[in-house]
Amino acid sequence: MTKRWLALLFGCLALALVAAGCGGGDDDNGDSGGGSGNADQQQAPAAKSGGGQVTMKDIKFDPSTVNVKVGDTVTWTNDDSVGHDVTSDTFKSGSAGGIGGGQTFEHKFAKAGTFKYECTVHPGMTGTVLVK
C-alpha cells in the first residue's frame, strides 16, 4: 500500500513540475539587453518544448547562453544556497537576490534579439538569451 502512495505522490509531483514549466512571464519591450559579455560562454540549443532552461549554480548561469524562438519562455532555477536575481535592461526578476534556493523565475520573449542579463548580487554572473 505504501508503494502505491509513493507512486501517486511522485506522479502528482511530476505533473505539477510539468504544469509549472508551461507558465508565461512578462512580455519584453526591447530588442537587446544590458550586461557584459563572456568570451567562454557555453551555448545550448533551443529547447524542443518551446522554451529554455537556465540553472543558477556555483554563482554561474548554466548554460550562459540559451537559444529560443519568439514567443518562448525561459525559466531560471536557483540551485544555489544563496539568493540570485535575473536583471536585464528589458526584464527583471524582482529585488536583488530575491530568487531563493529552489525558486524559479520565468520570462516570455515576444521579440527577436540578443538579451544580456546579470545577477546584480554577484559581479561577473552574466548570461545571454538569443531569440530568433
In a domain, 54, yes or no: yes
The residues near 72 (Cβ < 8 Å, ≥ 6 apart) are 46, 47, 50, 51, 52, 108, 109, 131
In a domain, 19, yes or no: no
Residue 26 has pLDDT above 50, yes or no: no
pLDDT per position as a tens digit, 71-80: 999 999 999 9
Residue 50 has pLDDT above 60, yes or no: yes
pLDDT per position as a tens digit, 9-20: 444 444 333 333
Give the number of domains in the chain. 1
Domain that holds residue 105: 25-131
- CATH code, domain with 127: 2.60.40.420
In a domain, 8, yes or no: no
Residue 17: enclosing H or E segment and its boundaries? Answer: helix 2-20
pTM of the model: 0.64
In a domain, 5, yes or no: no
Label residue 49 by pLDDT band (50, 70, 90). Answer: low
In a domain, 88, yes or no: yes
In a domain, 101, yes or no: yes
In a domain, 64, yes or no: yes
